[in-house]
């Protein structure tokens, strides 16, 4: 269901792995997905549906979720997160466009 250490060293087009129980493909692995939430220490952050920058944030860093093609399976867990500043670019960062009617 996910591209991580099994990716042969690169990203892959969406849909090459089977989808999850909701039919969503590549929610875990392949590329880290940027979130709009600012990154902060878990002891200060709301852990259910965070909506913005809880204090204290870490220098404008944003949350990344989902793991990436060169990480191991542990990083592909839904609960795992990473962070970086939005100015940082790399081939294992991406985003998901969501349409809500």
Domain annotation for the chain: domains and CATH numbers: 1-101 (3.90.1580.10)
Strands 93-94 and 32-40: parallel
**Is it the case that residue 9 has pLDDT exceeding 60?**
yes
Percent of the chain past pLDDT 70, that is, above it, reads 77
Average pLDDT of the chain? 78
Residue 88, helix vs strand vs coil = coil
Give the residue with greater pLDDT, 41 vs 8: 8
pLDDT score, position 50: 60
> What six digits make up the tokens of 83?
């962070």
DSSP state of 31: S
* Residue 87 pLDDT > 70: yes
Summarize pLDDT for 32-79 with one digit per residue, the tens: 888 877 777 665 555 566 655 555 555 678 888 888 888 888 888 877
SS3 73: helix
- Cα distances from 45 to residues 64, 73, 98, in angstroms, run 15, 25, 24
Structure confidence at residue 27 (pLDDT):
78
């Amino acid at each position: 269901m996910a591209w991580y250490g099994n990716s042969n060293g690169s990203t892959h087009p969406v849909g090459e792995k089977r989808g999850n129980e909701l039919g969503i493909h590549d929610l875990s692995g392949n590329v880290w997905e940027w979130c709009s939430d600012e990154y902060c220490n878990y002891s200060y952050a709301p852990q259910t549906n965070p909506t913005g920058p809880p204090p204290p944030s870490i220098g404008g860093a944003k949350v990344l979720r989902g793991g990436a093609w060169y990480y191991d399976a542990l990083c592909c867990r839904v609960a795992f997160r990473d962070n970086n500043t939005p100015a940082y670019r790399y081939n294992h960062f991406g985003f998901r466009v969501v349409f809500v009617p």
